[in-house]
Amino acid sequence: MYSPRRAVRGTAAAVALLLAAGCANPGVGSDRDDPTKPVTLKFWHGWSAPGEVKAIDGSLARFEELHPNIHVVATGNVSDETTNQALRAGGNDAPDVVSSFTTNNVGQYCDSGMWTDLDPFMARSHLVKEKVFPKTLLEYSSYEGKQCALPLLADVYGMYYNKDAFEEAGIARPPRTMSELVRDARKLTKKAEGGGYERVGFMPNFRMYQNSPDRLFAQWGPTYFDGKGNSRLAKEKTVPEFFRTTGELMKAQGGYAALEKFRTTFGDEMSSQNAFLTGKLAMHLDGEWRGLMLDEAKAKFRWGTAPLPVPDDRPETYGRGFLTGTVAGIAHSSKHQNAAWELVKFLTADTKQVVRFANAIHNVPSTKAALKSPALDGDRSFRTFLDIARNPYSTALPPSTNGGQYVVSLRDFAYKVEAGKVPDLPAGLRGLDAQIDADTLQSKS
Tens-place pLDDT, residues 118-129:
999 999 999 999
48/31 Cα distance (integer angstroms): 31
111/105 Cα distance (integer angstroms): 10
Q: Please, what is the Cα angle at 95 between 91 and 96, to 5 degrees?
A: 105
Residues with Cβ within 8 Å of 436's Cβ and at least 6 positions away in sequence, in order, are 231, 233, 402, 405, 406, 409
For the whole model, what pTM was predicted? 0.87
CB 180 within 8 A of CB 315: no
Predicted confidence at residue 13, as pLDDT, reads: 41
- For the cut 70, the answer to whether the pLDDT of residue 23 exceeds it is no
Predicted confidence at residue 17, as pLDDT, reads: 42
Question: Tell me: the pLDDT tens digits for 402-441?
Answer: 778 899 999 999 999 999 999 999 999 999 999 999 998 8
Predicted confidence at residue 19, as pLDDT, reads: 39
Predicted confidence at residue 11, as pLDDT, reads: 39
Predicted confidence at residue 18, as pLDDT, reads: 41
Helix locations, 266-321, DSSP H:
290-296
Confidence of residue 191 (pLDDT cuts 50, 70, 90): very high
79/415 Cα distance (integer angstroms): 27
Burial of 50 (0-12, 13-18, 19+ CB in 10 A): exposed
Question: Residue 318's beta-bridge partner residues?
Answer: none
Residues with Cβ within 8 Å of 210's Cβ and at least 6 positions away in sequence, in order, are 7, 157, 269, 285, 286, 287
108/378 Cα distance (integer angstroms): 34
Predicted confidence at residue 106, as pLDDT, reads: 87
What domains are there in the chain, each with its CATH number? Answer: 4-155+324-390 (3.40.190.10), 157-317 (3.40.190.10)
**CA distance readout (Å), 269 to 93, 217, 253, 294, 300:** 36, 21, 22, 12, 17
Residues with Cβ within 8 Å of 61's Cβ and at least 6 positions away in sequence, in order, are none
Confidence of residue 3 (pLDDT cuts 50, 70, 90): very low
Lowest mean pLDDT among 227-241, 374-388, 424-438: 374-388
- For the cut 50, the answer to whether the pLDDT of residue 8 exceeds it is no
- For the cut 60, the answer to whether the pLDDT of residue 226 exceeds it is yes
